[in-house]
C-alpha cells in the first residue's frame, strides 16, 4: 500500500522510508512559529528551564499579530519580550509592527514550502497544509521544547479524503465549501486526523481558497488540512518541484464527496461551527457588525470578492463594517487595486493587518446581545466579546451583502 502526503512528510522528517497511521514518530521540525499571545508563555517556560537558545534561529519565526499595534501596557510588554528574545538570539524572522500580518498568512507568503513539517503555537497553523506542507498547531510548552530541541513527537494521523468535484458557481466560495464539510462532519468529525482535500474541484481553486479550506480543518478536530501540491502551489511557493504527493494506492480512513457545482452559500449559526445551514434556510438575522478578515478570509481574493459586492453601495444604517487585510502585502495590493477606497467610501472602517475582533481581543469587540456576521472561523460563546453576543460565520461575499442590507443576505443577487 502506498502512503498519503501526510505520511510521506512525517516519514521524511523522522528519517524513515515508510510510516503508518497510528505509529508514534519523532520528527525534525522545518519551521516553528510563535506570536504575541502564545509566544510569551513559551519564553516563560524557557526561562524556567534556564536555557533559551533556539536549536536553529533561521527556523524560528516570531510574528506580532493578535493585538497590533499594542492596545494596552500589558500587550506592549508581551511585544517587548518577543522583540528582546529575537534580538538576543539574532532571530532574523521577527516581524515587527508594520512588517507583519496574521501569522499564517505571513508564513504562507514568505516561509512555507511543500513537504515541510511546520508547527505553530496557534491552532490555525493547519492552514499551511494548503501549500503541501504538514502543518499543525501546538501549545506554548510544547513550543518551548521544539525551539530548544528542533524535534517533536507525532502520532501519524489517519487521513480522511475529501473528494471535491466540479466548479463552484458564482457567489459561492471556498468558505462555503469548508462550512458545508464541517456541518456534515461535526466539530470532532476529523478528530486527530489529516483532512486531505483533492479532486478536480480543488485543482480549480486558487491557493488563497485552499488556505481558507485548510485553515478550518481544526474546526472539525483535524490535525492538519492538506492539499497535494500542483502547478499553482509550485508557482505560489517559488519552488522548482514538489515531489511529495499522495500515492494513488494510499490508505484512507474515510472518504467524503461533494459536488461543488450544487453548493449554495452556507452560514454557521451560533454557537458551534458545525451548526451550518444553507443561506436559504437561515431566515432573517440582523447584523450589528460585519467583519471581513482573519486568517480564514483576509486574503486578496476575499477582499476582491467583498469589494465586488460593496462597489458603489453603502453599508446599511445600524450596521458597522470592519475590514482587516491579513497582511501588509495584501493591504498594499488591495490599496493599489482600489478595494480599500471602496470599503471606506461605502462607510466601512479598514484596519491595519492583525487578527482583529476574531478572538475578542482588539478592534471590534461585541457588547451584550450584539450580532456579528463574520468571515472568521469560530462562533463559540463569547468568542468576539460578551458571552451574550452571537457570531455567524459566512464567506466574504455573504458578509459584504450582509453589510449592504444590514441582515444576512445571499450575495448571488449582487454577483450575476
Partner 1 sequence: METRDKKIKEVQGRAWLFGDDIDTDVILPGKYLVLTDPNELAKHALEGLVSDFSRKISKGDIIVAGKNFGCGSSREHAPLALKYAGVGAVVARSFSRIFFRNAINIGLPVVVSKEARDVIKEGERLSIDLEGGFIIREDGSRLVVGKYPEFLLEILKDGGLLQNLKRRFGKEAKI
Residue 351 interacts with partner 1 (CB under 8 A)? no
Residue 283 interacts with partner 1 (CB under 8 A)? no
| Calpha distance 238→233 (Å, rounded) | 8
Residue 142 interacts with partner 1 (CB under 8 A)? yes
| Calpha distance 348→164 (Å, rounded) | 35
Contacts of 308 (CB under 8 A, 6+ apart): 397, 400, 414, 415
Q: Tell me the closest approach of the beta carbon of residue 84 to partner 1, in angstroms.
A: 12
Residue 1 interacts with partner 1 (CB under 8 A)? no
| H helical segments located in 150-217 | 174-185, 200-203, 207-215
Nearer to partner 1, 160 or 315 (CB): 160
Nearer to partner 1, 140 or 319 (CB): 140
Closest by CA to 396, choosing from 297, 287, 321, is: 297
Nearer to partner 1, 138 or 287 (CB): 138
| Calpha distance 227→195 (Å, rounded) | 9
Q: Which of the residues 50 through 69 are near partner 1 (CB under 8 A)?
A: 50-53, 66-67
Q: Are residues 140 and 45 in contact, defined by beta-carbon separation less than 8 angstroms?
A: yes
Q: Tell me the closest approach of the beta carbon of residue 169 to partner 1, in angstroms.
A: 32
Nearer to partner 1, 353 or 385 (CB): 385
Contacts of 30 (CB under 8 A, 6+ apart): 13, 59, 116, 117, 118, 133
Q: Are residues 63 and 33 in contact, defined by beta-carbon separation less than 8 angstroms?
A: yes
Residue 184 interacts with partner 1 (CB under 8 A)? no
Closest by CA to 234, choosing from 244, 242, 226, is: 242
Nearer to partner 1, 52 or 405 (CB): 52
Residue 275 interacts with partner 1 (CB under 8 A)? no
Note the residues at the interface with partner 1 (CB under 8 A). 24, 37-38, 40-41, 44-53, 66-67, 72, 74-75, 78, 120-123, 125, 137-142, 144-145, 148-149, 153, 187-188, 191-192, 218, 221, 223, 272, 359-361, 365, 378, 380-383, 385, 387
Amino acid at each position: 500500500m502506498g502512503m498519503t502526503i501526510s505520511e510521506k512528510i512525517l516519514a521524511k522528517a523522522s528519517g524513515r522510508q515508510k510510516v503508518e497511521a497510528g505509529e508514534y514518530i519523532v520528527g525534525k521540525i522545518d519551521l516553528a512559529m510563535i506570536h504575541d499571545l502564545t509566544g510569551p508563555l513559551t519564553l516563560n517556560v524557557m526561562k524556567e528551564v534556564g536555557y533559551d537558545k533556539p536549536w536553529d534561529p533561521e527556523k524560528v519565526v516570531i510574528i506580532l499579530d493578535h493585538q497590533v499595534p499594542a492596545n494596552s501596557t500589558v500587550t506592549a510588554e508581551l511585544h517587548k519580550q518577543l522583540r528582546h528574545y529575537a534580538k538576543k538570539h539574532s532571530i532574523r524572522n521577527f516581524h515587527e509592527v508594520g512588517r507583519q500580518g496574521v501569522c499564517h498568512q505571513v508564513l504562507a507568503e514568505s516561509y512555507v514550502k511543500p513537504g515541510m513539517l511546520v508547527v505553530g503555537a496557534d491552532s490555525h497553523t493547519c492552514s499551511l497544509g494548503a501549500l503541501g506542507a504538514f502543518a499543525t498547531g501546538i501549545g506554548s510548552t510544547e513550543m518551548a521544547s521544539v525551539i530548544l530541541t528542533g524535534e517533536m513527537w507525532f502520532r501519524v494521523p489517519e487521513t480522511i479524503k475529501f473528494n471535491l468535484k466540479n466548479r463552484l458557481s458564482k457567489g459561492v466560495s471556498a468558505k462555503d465549501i469548508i462550512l458545508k464539510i464541517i456541518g456534515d462532519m461535526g466539530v470532532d468529525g476529523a478528530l486527530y486526523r489529516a483532512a486531505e482535500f483533492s479532486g478536480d474541484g480543488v485543482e480549480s481553486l486558487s491557493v488563497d481558497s485552499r488556505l481558507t479550506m485548510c485553515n478550518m480543518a481544526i474546526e472539525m478536530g483535524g490535525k492538519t488540512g492538506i492539499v497535494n501540491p500542483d502547478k499553482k502551489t509550485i508557482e505560489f511557493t517559488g519552488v522548482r518541484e514538489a515531489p511529495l504527493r499522495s500515492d494513488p494506492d494510499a490508505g484512507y480512513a474515510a472518504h467524503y464527496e461533494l459536488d461543488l457545482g450544487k453548493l449554495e452559500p452556507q452560514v454557521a449559526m451560533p454557537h458551534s461551527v458545525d451548526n451550518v445551514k444553507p443561506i436559504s434556510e437561515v431566515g432573517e438575522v440582523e447584523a450589528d457588525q460585519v467583519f471581513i478578515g482573519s486568517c480564514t478570509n483576509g486574503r486578496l481574493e476575499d477582499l476582491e470578492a467583498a469589494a465586488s459586492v460593496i462597489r458603489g453601495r453603502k453599508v446599511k444604517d445600524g450596521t458597522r463594517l470592519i475590514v482587516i487585510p491579513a497582511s501588509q502585502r495584501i493591504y498594499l495590493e488591495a490599496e493599489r487595486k482600489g478595494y480599500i477606497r471602496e470599503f471606506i467610501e461605502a462607510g466601512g472602517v479598514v484596519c491595519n493587518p492583525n487578527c482583529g475582533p476574531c478572538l475578542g481581543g482588539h478592534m471590534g469587540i461585541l457588547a451584550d446581545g450584539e450580532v456579528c456576521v463574520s468571515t472568521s472561523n469560530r462562533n463559540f460563546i463569547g468568542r468576539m466579546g460578551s458571552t451574550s453576543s452571537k457570531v455567524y460565520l459566512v464567506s466574504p461575499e455573504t458578509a459584504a451583502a450582509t453589510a449592504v442590507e444590514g441582515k444576512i443576505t445571499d450575495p448571488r443577487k449582487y454577483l450575476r
